[in-house]
Amino acid sequence: MGKAEEISTTKYLIHAQINANGIVEKPDVVGAIFGQTEGLLSNDLDLRELQKTGRIGRIKVNITSRGGRSKGEIVIPSSLDRVETAILAASLETINRVGPCEAYIQVSKVEDVRAVKRKKVVDRAKEIYAGMMDEVTPESLKMIEEVKEAMRIHEITDFGDEKLPAGPNVHTSDAILVVEGRSDVLNLLKHGIKNAIAVEGVSVPKTVAELTRKKTVTAFVDGDRGGELILKELLQVGEIDYVTRAPKGKEVEDLGKDEIMVALRDKMPIEQMFHDLGIKVEPKSEDKMVVLKNILTELEGSGNAEILDDALNILKEVKVENLYDELKRINNHPYAVVFDGVVSQRLLDIAHEKGIKHIVAIRTGEIVKRPEKVKLITR
């Protein structure tokens, strides 16, 4: 096998250090390597056979002697896979004699030749690219940008029944970005982000609402009032996991690559957004009914009552027998009462007096007068 072919197939270089208590030379070291590893490993990893078939290259030894001792380096080229090369390297450390002398061999590293080559390729490619760009005229740059823009427009797709503008990866990606409009999707495509879909207005389409229930969703909105409105709508009809915004006063379609990367890196979980930005999102009325009924199911059999605000947060939790007295005292605008009990006329009257909109209970008792503004829901 020729030297050029041996070098071209090398994947790894095993580097080992040798110390011997006596004067030894290169042939002694090579002989010890072949002799003392023979029979140690399987026939597939026998050094002589590996060298005959070109799976390891010529063993190189650089050794010097001084003061009656010898030390040096062993280098073995390998075209074996990673595991086999590691086993071969470890076998060198079993050698304890070279010729008549005691010796100690330790593997210092296994070098990935291809990684070194890749680094050289990348470094050289950078040099070549820099030279190419030096020769590019402003007119050429303009043409390149026009071609890139045409390619971005070609990549954009129509998604769902509403034909929403979307990147080509929205179908397949587990995580998506929800943005406002087509221009936002195009700008993200420009910078290599292909999993964005636009809502095309403040009203969130059904397609997007359904997507949010299947995928991990980041709402990427403009840094203005419009962005906040879209975010509120998304939170009401969809299931958003993260939120990020363009810098204040800027729109997603105008952001450069660095600004986009910073925004995506700094996205926050939806719960943190509620706390940090103080955005209060109320459930839609039909969703509130479902939530209230679910609360009743949870309370059934407990003998407890919950007084809720208009966002269905608990203002007070009390025993049913204390509910009337608590409603008389409460002054922080209660919206609904859910309790494990029977609605009485007395309770209905105090609820109306306090401006409560919904009473949810197991059943109703004898009601003579039912206020129009209080809605009764029973099991």
Q: What is the pLDDT of residues 72-94, one digit of tens each?
A: 999 999 999 889 999 999 999 99
The overall longest dimension of the chain from CA atoms, in Å, is: 115
Q: How far, in Å, CA of 36 to CA of 63, rounded?
A: 19
Question: Is there a contact between 311 and 324 (Cβ–Cβ < 8 Å)?
Answer: no
Q: How far, in Å, CA of 118 to CA of 126, rounded?
A: 12
* Main-chain phi, psi angles of 173, to 5 degrees: -75, 140
10 Å Cβ neighbour count for 165? Answer: 22
pLDDT at 282 over 80: no
Residues present in the chain in total:
379
- pLDDT (average), residues 46-67: 89
Question: Which strand (E) or helix (H) includes residue 343?
Answer: strand 342-343
User: What separation in angstroms does the CA of 204 have from each of 134, 213, 218, 232, 241?
Assistant: 47, 14, 14, 10, 16
Partners of 293 in beta bridges = none
- Best CA proximity match to 261, nearest among 327, 338, 187: 187
Which of the four pLDDT bands, split at 50, 70 and 90, describes residue 277? low
- pLDDT (average), residues 85-107: 92
pLDDT at 274 over 70: no
Residue type, 78: S
Q: Is the dihedral of CA 64, 70, 71, 76 positive or negative?
A: positive
pLDDT at 281 over 60: no
Asked whether the whole model's pTM tops 0.75, one would answer no
Output the pLDDT for position 149: 65
Which of the four pLDDT bands, split at 50, 70 and 90, describes residue 287? low
pLDDT at 365 over 90: no
Q: How far, in Å, CA of 64 to CA of 73, rounded?
A: 9
Q: Using the structure block, give the residue that is written with the tokens 């140690």.
A: 40
pLDDT at 120 over 60: yes
Radius of gyration of the chain (CA): 37
**Residue 136 DSSP symbol:** -
Average pLDDT of the chain to the nearest whole number? 84
Question: Which DSSP string corresponds to 5-19?
Answer: HHHHH--EEEEEEEE
